């Protein structure tokens, strides 16, 4: 009987100990989760503040570098960028408006020429926008003086339209060349200032040279960036002009052939 009570007592003590251990374990886990949550909550604002600080630094870095790079030369480089972009955007809009479906226009003019003659074809060209339609109208308008006169008018007015397409494009190429030159000018002047500071101080200290070299490097970097940006727009514009000019030439040949057939049929 004593052994039975002893076994029961030991079993009870072991059961009680297990219950206590299970009760304490969730408490410990809860405390660990709470500590982790608190740590995460404290770390989140810190990370957010660091991200905001980095974002502010990034947005203000360009302004800071611009001021450090000597506003006189940096302002000249910025002016090249503004003027170059203004001309490039104007040319892109003009060229896109000048783009027409030349094949469709040729078909419409040919149909009008066969059905209603020169006047009907002129009306189609008059109601269509773009350089190709303008060339067609001039050629059809001079066709009353003969095929040779119409052909000369097409060639001459084609040159006029080409000049309109290439208007102000040379300014973009000027700014592409001028921006790095201004940057290099700032570089040279920055180096001169650095050597003047060394000469005045009579000793070679890094702090004396750093200011002039920083100005030199910043002006060069910004000048090259402006040139690269404008170069992309310039290449797009020249490619667009070449495409329109090719359409003008093909359409002009088609118009001369149509007028030749028209005059041969009249004979």
Q: What is the pLDDT of residues 233-257, one digit of tens each?
A: 999 999 999 999 999 989 888 888 8
- Please state which of the ranges 46-55, 132-141, 147-156 shows the lowest mean pLDDT: 46-55
> Considering 30, 49, 68, which residue would you say is the last residue of a domain?
68
Residue 105 pLDDT more than 70? yes
For residue 7, the model assigns a pLDDT of 44
3-state secondary structure 15-84: HHHHHHHHHHHHHHHHHHHHHHHHHHHHHHHHHHHHHHHHHHHHHHHHHHHHHHCCHHHHHHHHHHHHHH
Check whether residue 80 and residue 52 sit in a common domain. Answer: no
pTM above 0.75, yes or no: no
Residue 133 pLDDT more than 80? yes
In this structure, what is the dihedral angle of CA atoms 33, 35, 39, 42, given to the nearest 10 degrees? 110
Per-residue pLDDT band at 258 (split at 50, 70, 90):
confident
- pLDDT per residue over 41-67, tens digit each? 444 444 544 544 455 565 677 677 666
8-to-14, 68, 137, 139 alpha-carbon distances in Å: 10, 87, 117, 120
Tell me the C-alpha distance between 51 and 49, whole Å: 5
For residue 66, the model assigns a pLDDT of 65
Check whether residue 15 and residue 130 sit in a common domain. Answer: no
> Considering 50, 68, 86, which residue would you say is the last residue of a domain?
68
Check whether residue 127 and residue 245 sit in a common domain. Answer: yes
> Between residues 33 and 81, which one has the greater pLDDT?
81
CB atoms within 10 A of CB 100: 17
Q: How many domains does the chain have?
A: 2
- pLDDT per residue over 178-218, tens digit each? 999 988 887 787 777 777 777 777 666 666 666 667 777 88
For residue 40, the model assigns a pLDDT of 44
Residue 85 pLDDT more than 50? yes
Check whether residue 209 and residue 128 sit in a common domain. Answer: yes
Check whether residue 190 and residue 58 sit in a common domain. Answer: no
Mean pLDDT of the chain: 77
Q: Which residues contact 76 (CB under 8 A, 6 or more apart)?
A: 182
Residue keyed to tokens 């102000």: 168
Check whether residue 177 and residue 100 sit in a common domain. Answer: yes
> Between residues 232 and 73, which one has the greater pLDDT?
232
Check whether residue 181 and residue 49 sit in a common domain. Answer: no
Check whether residue 130 and residue 147 sit in a common domain. Answer: yes
For residue 101, the model assigns a pLDDT of 86
> Considering 40, 68, 96, which residue would you say is the last residue of a domain?
68
Check whether residue 213 and residue 235 sit in a common domain. Answer: yes
Check whether residue 87 and residue 25 sit in a common domain. Answer: no
Residues spanned by the domain of 236: 71-266
Check whether residue 101 and residue 216 sit in a common domain. Answer: yes
């Amino acid at each position: 009987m004593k052994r039975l009570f002893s076994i029961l007592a030991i079993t009870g003590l072991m059961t009680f100990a297990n219950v206590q251990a299970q009760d304490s374990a969730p408490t410990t886990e809860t405390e660990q989760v709470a500590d982790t949550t608190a740590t995460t909550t404290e770390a989140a604002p810190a990370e957010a503040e660091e991200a905001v600080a980095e974002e502010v630094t990034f947005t203000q870095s360009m302004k800071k570098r611009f001021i450090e790079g000597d506003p006189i030369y940096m302002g000249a480089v910025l002016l090249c960028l503004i003027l170059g972009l203004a001309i490039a955007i104007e040319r892109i809009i003009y060229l896109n408006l000048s783009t027409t479906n030349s094949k469709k226009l040729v078909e419409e003019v040919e149909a009008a020429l066969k059905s209603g003659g020169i006047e009907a074809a002129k009306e189609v060209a008059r109601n269509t926008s773009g350089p190709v339609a303008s060339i067609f109208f001039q050629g059809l308008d001079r066709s009353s003086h003969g095929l040779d006169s119409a052909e000369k008018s097409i060639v001459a007015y084609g040159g006029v339209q080409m000049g309109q397409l290439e208007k102000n494009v040379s300014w973009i190429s000027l700014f592409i060349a001028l921006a790095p030159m201004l940057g290099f000018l700032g570089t040279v002047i920055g180096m001169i200032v650095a050597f003047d500071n060394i000469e005045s101080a009579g000793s070679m200290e890094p702090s004396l040279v750093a200011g002039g070299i920083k100005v030199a490097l910043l002006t060069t970097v910004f000048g090259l960036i402006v040139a690269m940006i404008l170069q992309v727009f310039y290449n797009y514009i020249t490619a667009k002009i070449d495409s329109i000019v090719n359409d003008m030439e093909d359409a002009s040949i088609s118009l001369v052939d149509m007028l030749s057939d028209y005059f041969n049929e009249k004979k």
